[in-house]
Amino acid sequence: MARPKKWRKVCCLPASSQFGPFDVETEQDHFVTMNIEEYETIRLIDLEGLTQEDCAKQMDIARTTVQGIYNDARKKLAESLVLGKRLRIEGGNYKLCESDGKPCRGCGCRKRRALMMDSSDT
């Protein structure tokens, strides 16, 4: 029997779930789909400046797993940018970090969520 997949810890969902050129056709082959875990690795490593090791600790997974997820995410970003495809962010095997009722381990997700809520009001 296959080993069950481990849930990946994610701080917050993206404010927008689609990016890219909106003047292209909406056929399935004009989309690239990135899952939430891939989005989270891009956010943590590229935006927050974490190392892959720190990202792995944050998401409660192995560093080698983060490396694979991050590489897949970068390939999808490149495909979207270079080939002019829309990027959709959806699905995956994740849990929001505060879903268990415990505060996050210093990742700042509460502050980030508050900022996102404030910016959506304007």
pLDDT digits (tens, 9 = 90+) for 77-103: 999 999 989 999 999 999 987 645 555
Q: What's the CA dihedral at 99, 105, 110, 112 to 10 degrees?
A: -120
pLDDT of residue 109: 60
Residues of the chain with pLDDT under 70: 24-28, 98-122
**β-pair type (31-34, 86-89):** parallel
Report how far residue 25's alpha carbon sits from residue 16's, in angstroms, rounded to the nearest whole number.
19
Supply 55's token pair. 């990202």
Say what the pTM is.
0.77
Q: Is the domain defined by 26-121 classed in CATH 1.10.10?
A: yes
The single residue listed with the structure tokens 């939430």 is 36
